[in-house]
Amino acid sequence: MSSVKRTVSRAFASGVRGLVRIAGRSPRLILTYHRVGHGPGRVLPEILEAQIRWARGAGFEFVPVARMVDWVRDGIDLPPRAIAMTFDDGLADTARLASPVLRRAGITAMVFPVLSFLGGPRRFASERARAYLLADDGDPRTIAYDYMSWDELDAWAESGLEIGGHTLSHPFLGAVDESVGRAEIEGCRRELAARYGAPPRVFCYPFGDDSGDAGAWVRAAGFEAALTSRTGVLDRRSDLLHLPRLSSLETAGEPFANLLSGVFLWRERLGFS
């Protein structure tokens, strides 16, 4: 990008952020996190803390995912600058590095654990999933992951944080037959209900794969809503079984401010690059 384009782009983003401040409202967002810590593809704990601090200072309010669902479905009151945070897969660093940050800040977030991965070796639902997660191609999304223990998930729940469903073994739901898909979805909901006294309300599609009949299986299992990896923001017309999210960033600076203010939406609407 040339220096002129960069200057215009930053001025545009600054203008959008200013309008959001004046309006006192912004798009309702669900942010996605995976890895927290030091290394490629991870959000540093201090960056996560800085993101929370900046968002609050800019007038954003962190709310439970369940409250976002209630707003979409029933119009239950929601702050005009609401954000929800999610952590996929139940990774060890979510419990050991992200959870202390959340507790210190006094905010909630939802974790989506892969139940058969907790406290032991990874198991894979399909050869395609195995290849995706084990490939050594330099992409930080495909390096080996460590998972939290059941005790750490218990501590997450006891501290008032949310838990959602994410299957038993993380298959591509669009690639399995109905009996397998339904068993994966129903099984995780049943196990979480037995352990924590109430079934989870929200599901998250493994790999963001909500293709085929996955949404119907999620509904039949009793979940009220399901999150995808599709980029977007929430509004009252959002499809509860295919809710979009935004991948968070590894920085707390201007790009993060632009993300929360919906600058990318205005770029798309106005054809501005």
Q: What is the Cα–Cα distance from 258 to 242, expressed in whole angstroms?
A: 24
Cβ neighbours for 216, distance < 8 A, ≥ 6 positions apart:
none
| % of residues, the chain, pLDDT over 90 | 59
* Reported confidence tier of residue 127, pLDDT bands at 50, 70, 90: low
Predicted structure pTM score: 0.83
Give all domains of the chain, ordered by start, each with its CATH number. Answer: 3-270 (3.20.20.370)
DSSP single-letter state for residue 33: E
226: part of which helix (H) or strand (E)? Answer: strand 225-231
For the chain, give the longest Cα–Cα distance.
59
pLDDT at 187 over 60: yes
Q: What are the C-alpha distances in Å from 214 to residues 41, 178, 201?
A: 28, 9, 16
CA of residue 216 relative to chain centroid, distance: 21
Model pLDDT, residue 257: 79
Q: Which residue has the higher pLDDT, 19 or 217?
A: 217
Helices 178-196 and 214-221 cross at an angle (nearest 10°) of 30
Q: Say whether pLDDT at 49 is over 90.
A: yes
Whether residue 214 has pLDDT greater than 70: yes
- The encoded tokens of residue 145 equal 């992951």
